[in-house]
């Protein structure tokens, strides 16, 4: 059994949690997003091949943007976003002026959160982001994009079950 500190943790009632991740292999980067409600019920997710980017932070930011877009489609207004990319979360949480291209894109992404009543963007340990990581690895190994809602493939189901035990 996985220690509780290494499992996905349920958000408070009425919140949904959006976990995002990115992975890379030679010449290819992918993002993974999984959305779950306060009971651990999967609302949907995706794994998308992004091609080649300058850095993992850019793909992690793309994953966060994809997660925000998915959260909007569910009409929930209290969202917790989680990433295991400390650099992205630090950039995102600091509100100082950042004149880099990444800083400008992060500022635009912050603006996307204004439609929600309550949002958080948190860093989590990689061990607690296993499902989003597994989605990335699935896309890498199969060289495909994957989008799903409440009905999803058995290999994703197996990963979710293992992470919740």
3 state SS of 143? coil
**Locus of tokens 């630090």:** 90
Number of neighbours of residue 146 by Cβ within 10 angstroms: 18
- Residue 124 backbone phi and psi in degrees, to 5: -130, 155
Of 9 and 97, the structure prediction assigns the larger pLDDT to 9
83 pLDDT band, cuts 50/70/90, is very high
Q: What is the CATH number of the domain that holds 138?
A: 3.30.420.10
Which pTM was predicted?
Answer: 0.88
- Residue among 84, 91, 159 at smallest CA distance from 128: 84
Q: What residues make up the domain containing 15?
A: 4-164
Average pLDDT in the chain? 83
107 pLDDT band, cuts 50/70/90, is confident
As a whole number, mean pLDDT of residues 156-165 equals 68
Q: Does the pLDDT of residue 116 top 90, yes or no?
A: yes
Query: How do residues 36-51 score in pLDDT, each as one tens digit?
Result: 998 888 899 999 888 7
54 pLDDT band, cuts 50/70/90, is low
pLDDT for the residue numbered 146:
83
Q: Which token pair is 104?
A: 């400008």
Of 1 and 128, the structure prediction assigns the larger pLDDT to 128
Task: Provide the number of structural domains found in the chain.
Answer: 1
Please tell me the distance from the alpha carbon of residue 31 to that of residue 132, in angstroms, as a whole number: 8
Task: Judge whether 5 and 129 are in contact, CB under 8 Å.
Answer: no
């Amino acid at each position: 059994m996985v220690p509780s500190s290494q499992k996905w943790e349920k958000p408070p009632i009425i919140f949904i949690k959006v976990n995002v991740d990115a992975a890379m292999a030679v010449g290819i980067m992918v993002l993974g997003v999984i959305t779950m409600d306060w009971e651990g019920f999967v609302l949907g997710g995706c794994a998308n091949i992004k091609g080649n980017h300058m850095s993992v932070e850019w793909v992690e930011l793309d994953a966060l943007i994809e997660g925000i877009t998915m959260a909007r489609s569910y009409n929930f207004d209290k969202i917790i976003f989680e990433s295991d990319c400390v650099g992205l979360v630090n950039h995102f949480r600091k509100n100082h002026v950042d004149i880099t291209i990444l800083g400008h894109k992060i500022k635009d992404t912050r603006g996307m959160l204004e439609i929600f009543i309550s949002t958080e963007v948190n860093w989590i340990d990689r061990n607690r982001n296993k499902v989003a990581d597994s989605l990335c690895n699935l896309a890498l190994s199969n060289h495909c994009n994957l989008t799903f809602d409440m009905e999803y493939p058995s290999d994703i189901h197996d990963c979710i079950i293992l992470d919740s035990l």
